[in-house]
Amino acid sequence: MQSASTAEAPPTAINAAPSPVRRLLATDRRRLVFCLAIAGLALLPVAGLVSFAIGGGGRVWPSLLANVLPRAALTTATLLAGVALVAAVVGIGTAFLVARCRFPGRSFFEWALLLPLAMPTYVMAYAWLDVIHPLGPLPTMLRGLFGITDPRGLPLPELRSAGGAIFVIGLVLYPYVYLPVRALLLMRSAALGEAARTLGAGPLRIFLGVSLPTVWPAAALGLTLVMLETLNDIGASEFLGIRTLTVAVYTTWTVRGSIEGASQIALAMLAVVILVMALGRLARRNLPAQSGRTQRRTSERRLGPLGGSFAFAACALPILLGFGVPGGYLAGAALSRFLERGIPAGLAAAALNSVVLAALTAAITVAAGLALAIAVRGARNPAVAPLAGVAGLGYAMPGTVLAVGLLVPVAALDNRLADLVRAMTGEAIGLVLIGSGAALLLALSLRFLTISARTLDAGLERISPSIDGAAQSLGAGRRRIARDIHLPLLAPPLASAAILVFVDAMKELPATLLLRPLDFETLATSLYGEAARGTHEDGAMAALMIVLVGLAPVIALIRRR
């Protein structure tokens, strides 16, 4: 029976106690259910990793803690900081140049600056290593120039180093920053900067005090993707001999045969990533809200000969290093193979598989990402945003870890399904989810969902809520607002999201390698089939096709505008 003492347990408190939870479940129910469903799917690989992790003891830890993790953590931090710096400087700098200045070649640079995006990091690493090897084209040319005969006489920077990895990875990833920053600059007025100029502020002060804060939300979005991609890279890091934390996971798994230990490290890393991202979210919450105004194309500054040459060089260099040199190398290698042996059997089929897989992944992630972004926008339920964050977990872990984690629940479900069908019909259907490629498609969609969700979220943020309010007051329903107002305004970010995911899915290797059905090759897997046995020149044609097929939409995206 209830005690009479109000201090101990007031009856009102008992009645009120379940109400916050109930309220949480009752508000925005459809948004909540949707986000819960996606977050549940995103947690599947984590559940798989947990099941591996608890199956093992702590056998791997003493040696890792003593000899590997401290150094690997430092290497990883160096790599992250370096790549972020390269991506920020190149991405923001070139975006400003092409969006705010007029100089020779600008209309070419606008789209060409995206080209390195099509280059897989591991291909970049192979290509550059060959190009600057003492017997490679660049040192040979330089030695010829200086009349040096001994290859040891011309020491070039060592690419197999943290600096080399920063160079290779940063040059491929800066477009993630360039793309959203440029888009933001095109929509935002330069009026603030002009006002600052009339008040006597110099260009540097305007850039640091006015322009940079303006683009920071877009740059931060890009840099988050850059850093997650860098953290989870195995291909380039392993090839260049950079011992990062992710490489430690990989080594524990493949060399020491301990998926259990590898899962333990991967989960620990994931926890840190989640913590850092949650802190970042909190920090962003305190930023003043951005004005939602969209503007006419802003006034541009015409650069003089000196400034114009500088701008030209600053835009040409990343394209040359991130695309021209490795792309040219690939083209050369592909051509010499083609002349020797013709087109490898199965290349066309692999290309078709790649395109279909990447297009389906893009379609799924854009649809789900749009739904997520809309669900989060204006949600009154405080649980919606964190759940949407969970939905992006697939990008917060290495692709190979995601794939092996996802195997556990998907294969379990697949087996249930097969047993059920056998019990009902006597038919042995085998594993349909894995055998049909659905598991692979799920893995890729989970992996890249965050790219589309964040891109679309940023796009939605630029649509002022007052537009919704106005439409509502004129009697438009939610659905009509979404269809007639949001969708047209979202066309550019939708295209960006689709293309980013398409290109990423074209390049994706580890999840595809592990989860694909029998007899299913993509361009990336056939390239890797050669690279893994040290004959990456034989994969040059596949690599070139990844780049070319990835390029077409990149160019289309930019030219459309």
The distance from CA 131 to its chain's CA centroid, rounded to whole angstroms, is 27
Min separation Cβ 255 and another protein, Å: 5
Residue 33 C-beta: closest distance to another protein, Å: 10
Residue 181 or 391: the one with the smaller Cβ distance to another protein is 391
CA distance 444 to 433: 14
Q: Which is nearer to another protein, 309 or 336 (CB)?
A: 336
Residues 6+ apart with CB under 8 A from 412: none
The helix, strand and coil proportions of the chain, stated in percent and rounded to the nearest 5, come to 75, 0, 20
Q: Which is nearer to another protein, 14 or 356 (CB)?
A: 356
Query: Minimal distance in Å, beta carbon 419 to another protein?
Result: 8
DSSP codes joined into one string, 326-352: HHHHHHHHHHHHHHHH-SPTTHHHHHH
Q: Which residues pair with 302 in a beta bridge?
A: 102
Contact 452/365 with Cβ under 8 angstroms?
A: yes
- Please give the Cα distance from 548 to 255 (Å, whole number): 35
Q: In whole angstroms, how close is the CB of 149 to another protein at the nearest point?
A: 10
**Cβ at position 162, least distance to another protein in Å:** 10
Q: How far is the CB of 259 from another protein (least distance, A)?
A: 6
Alpha-carbon distance of 375 to 385, in angstroms, equals: 9
How far apart CA 219 and CA 233 sit, in angstroms, is: 21
Helix locations, 232-303, DSSP H: 235-239, 245-254, 259-285
Query: Closer CB to another protein, residue 119 or residue 368?
Result: 368
CB of 185 to another protein, least distance (A): 32
Q: Per the structure block, which two tokens stand in for 51?
A: 């099941």
Q: To the nearest whole angstrom, how small is the minimum distance from the Cβ of residue 267 to another protein? A: 16
3 state DSSP class of 165: helix
Residue at token pair 């899915």: 505
CB of 49 to another protein, least distance (A): 11
Name which of 187 and 242 has its Cβ closer to another protein. Answer: 242
Contact 480, 538 (CB under 8 A): no
Handedness of CA 322, 328, 333, 334 (dihedral sign): positive
Tokens for 193?
Answer: 């900067």
When the beta carbons of 94 and 400 are compared against another protein, the nearer one is 400
Q: How far is the CB of 58 from another protein (least distance, A)?
A: 14
CA 66 and chain centroid, separation: 32
Q: Which is nearer to another protein, 303 or 545 (CB)?
A: 545
Q: Give the residue with the Cβ less far from another protein, 260 or 461.
A: 260
Q: Tokens 């739904």 identify what position?
A: 371
Please say which residue, 182 or 536, places its beta carbon nearer to another protein: 536
Residue 31 vs 106, nearer CB to another protein: 31
SS3 302: strand
In the complex with another protein, which residue's Cβ is closer, 22 or 533?
A: 533
Q: How far is the CB of 355 from another protein (least distance, A)?
A: 12
Q: Are 242 and 82 in contact (CB under 8 A)?
A: no
Where would I find the H helices in 55-174?
61-63, 69-100, 106-112, 121-131, 137-146, 162-173
Token couple for 49 = 């990793």
